């Protein structure tokens, strides 16, 4: 008996157990990709072009390989093909995979299985990430060859490859979000065209940063790494939020679509405050910069105003499935009430977080009192905060009134109606100022519900 037989048997058994625990969507999509012709053709073209670039580059630059910084040229071509594959091809395939499930009417079969919407989304994302790993593995030998050439910057290239991988994850979630955004074939066609254009633009931006951004980056500066950390945390939080939105779109109408989104929104907010406080404790100068504080406050305000438009217009009806899972204890039910579906609970949640932002704005007002920042930073923030509170209240009231008039008023219709009303008020409030400056000053009250007019007035 060979001594390798027990090791092989043990490895096979572990592989069998691991394969049983893998996401079924990942297994299905991977099997279809390996047996299909599309992935094989794209992969062979990818490897073939990489090999062709290597051969032609060596032939044309043979005399300069040991003296000139040719590594930048080789890496530019290799990264161009890699980034096109992971930032354009794979996201579009991710978009089409979920759309094809609906077109072929196979998604309904998935929904009646034991798989949850979260498992379906994770399986789709895992399939895309597996394809990215395959492309990275294919390009690795060519980048390894480039490392032997002159001008190879290990830190810069490693940073570019890692950030490209993380950025690709953001695009995959965005592509899935576009795939579940609508069921109408006309809107799906528009989404597909818009997605392709957006992916090509983002690919061009990533390629330009990889080729020309080295001169603007200082790896020795600690602020560079802190900014990277903050950007990664923000991107990760929005990836989780987008994933939760996709899960909500795939959940049955009787299920709880809203609580997960509200929890993620709240965690985002308090995580932002926690990171800001941590940076302040570590005495990072970027936190004490007024521009950073203004941008942070503005981002949190717009974040919760946009989220509030969605949350406060939800229907207050709770299905039996949701009510059956409510805690029996009244105190616990009171604590989780803001996270339950419904426009009323959504209004409480949004107003509570906007109140916290209001306290932060008030503290900032005391700090910048008697300075230029009081007029140029504090007062505009107060205007945006107050207008946000007013318009969220209007959206909540519109949702209740419209549902009393007719059950045909969906939450989406109420949101569109609120946006149209806001645009109408903003346009009307600008008319007196366009007629004459004096008339605009006399009728400034007409723009009380328009942040654009009020910011100019204060």
pLDDT band for position 380 (cuts 50, 70, 90): confident
Q: Each residue of 209-243: pLDDT tens digit?
A: 888 877 777 777 777 888 888 888 888 999 999 88
252/268: higher pLDDT: 268
pLDDT of residue 17: 65
Residue 217: predicted pLDDT: 76
Residue 373: is its pLDDT beyond 60?
Answer: no
Q: Is the per-residue pLDDT at 370 higher than 70?
A: no
Is the confidence at residue 369, as pLDDT, over 70? no
Q: How many structural domains does the chain have? A: 1
Instruction: Flag whether 424 is in a domain.
Output: no
Token pair for residue 410? 């969906």
In a domain, 29, yes or no: yes
In-domain check, residue 171? yes
Residue 271 has pLDDT above 80, yes or no: yes
Which candidate, 195, 143, 139, 145, places its Cα nearest to that of 172? 195
Helix, strand and coil in the chain, % to nearest 5: 80, 0, 20
Q: Quote the CA–CA distance of 61 and 157 in Å, as a whole number.
A: 21
34-66 pLDDT, tens digit each: 777 777 888 888 888 888 888 888 788 777 767
404 belongs to a structural domain: no
Secondary structure of residue 371 in the 3-state scheme: coil
pLDDT value at position 267? 92
Tokens of 343: 């426009």
How many alpha carbons fall within 13 Å on the CB side of residue 368? 20
pLDDT of residue 16: 64
| Residues 428-444: tens digit of each pLDDT | 888 777 777 777 677 76
Q: What is the pLDDT of residues 68-120, one digit of tens each?
A: 777 788 888 888 888 999 999 889 888 888 777 777 667 767 766 777 888 88
Phi, psi dihedral angles at 218 (to 5 degrees): -120, 100
Cα–Cα distance, 310 to 305 (Å, whole number)? 9
Percent of the chain with pLDDT over 90: 12
**pLDDT, tens digit, 9 for 90 and up, residues 162-215:** 999 999 999 999 888 888 877 766 777 788 888 889 999 999 988 888 888 777
Residue, of 154 and 115, whose pLDDT is higher: 154
H or E element at residue 386: helix 379-405
- What tens digit of pLDDT does each residue of 303-312 get? 999 999 999 9
Write down the mean pLDDT value for the chain.
Answer: 82
Could you tell me the residue range of the domain that residue 180 belongs to?
21-219
The predicted pLDDT at position 264 comes to 92
Cα separation of 246 and 176, whole Å?
A: 7
* Dihedrals phi, psi of 149, to nearest 5 degrees: -90, 165
Residue 290, domain member (yes or no): no
Q: Does 417 reside within a domain?
A: no
Residue 51, in any domain of the structure? yes
In a domain? residue 343: no
Q: Which residue has the higher pLDDT, 22 or 267?
A: 267
pLDDT band at 152 (very low <50, low <70, confident <90, very high): confident
């Amino acid at each position: 008996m060979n001594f390798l037989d027990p090791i092989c048997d043990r490895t096979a058994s572990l592989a069998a157990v691991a394969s049983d625990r893998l996401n079924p969507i990942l297994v299905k999509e991977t099997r279809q990709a390996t047996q299909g012709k599309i992935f094989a053709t794209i992969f062979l073209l990818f490897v073939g072009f990489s090999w062709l670039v290597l051969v032609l580059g060596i032939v044309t630059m043979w005399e300069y390989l040991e003296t000139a910084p040719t590594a930048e040229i080789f890496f530019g071509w290799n990264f161009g093909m890699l980034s096109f594959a992971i930032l354009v091809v794979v996201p579009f395939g991710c978009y089409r995979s979920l759309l094809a499930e609906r077109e072929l009417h196979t998604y309904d079969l998935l929904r009646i299985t034991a798989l949850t919407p979260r498992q379906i989304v994770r399986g789709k994302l895992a399939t895309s990430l597996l394809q990215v790993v395959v492309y990275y593995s294919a390009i690795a030998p060519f980048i390894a060859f480039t490392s032997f050439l002159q001008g190879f910057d290990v830190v810069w290239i490693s940073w570019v490859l890692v950030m490209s991988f993380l950025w690709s994850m953001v695009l995959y979630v965005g592509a899935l979000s576009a795939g579940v955004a609508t069921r109408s074939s006309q809107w799906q066609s528009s989404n597909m065209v818009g997605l392709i254009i957006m992916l090509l633009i983002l690919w061009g931006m990533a390629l330009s940063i990889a080729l020309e951004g080295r001169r603007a980056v200082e790896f020795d500066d600690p602020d560079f790494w802190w900014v990277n950390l903050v950007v990664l945390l923000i991107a990760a939080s929005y990836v989780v939020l987008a994933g939760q939105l996709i899960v909500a779109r795939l959940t049955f109408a009787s299920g709880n679509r809203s609580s997960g989104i509200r929890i993620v929104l709240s965690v985002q907010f308090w995580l932002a405050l926690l990171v800001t406080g941590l940076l302040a404790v570590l005495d990072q100068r970027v936190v004490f910069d007024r521009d950073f504080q203004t941008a942070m406050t503005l981002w949190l305000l717009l974040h919760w105003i946009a989220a509030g438009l969605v949350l406060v217009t939800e229907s207050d009806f709770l299905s039996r499935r949701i009510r059956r899972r409510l805690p029996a204890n009244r105190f616990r039910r009171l604590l989780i009430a803001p996270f339950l579906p419904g426009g009323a609970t959504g209004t409480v949640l949004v107003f509570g977080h906007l109140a916290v932002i209001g306290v932060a704005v008030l503290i900032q007002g005391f700090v910048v009192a008697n300075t230029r920042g009081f007029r140029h930073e504090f007062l505009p923030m107060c205007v945006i905060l107050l207008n946000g509170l007013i318009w969220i209240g209007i959206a909540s009231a519109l949702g209740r009134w419209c549902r009393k008039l007719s059950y045909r008023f969906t939450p989406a219709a109420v949101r569109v109606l609120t946006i149209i009303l806001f645009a109408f008020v903003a346009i009307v409030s600008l008319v007196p100022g366009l007629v004459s400056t004096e008339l605009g000053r006399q009728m400034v009250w007409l723009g009380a519900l328009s942040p654009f007019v009020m910011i100019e007035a204060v």
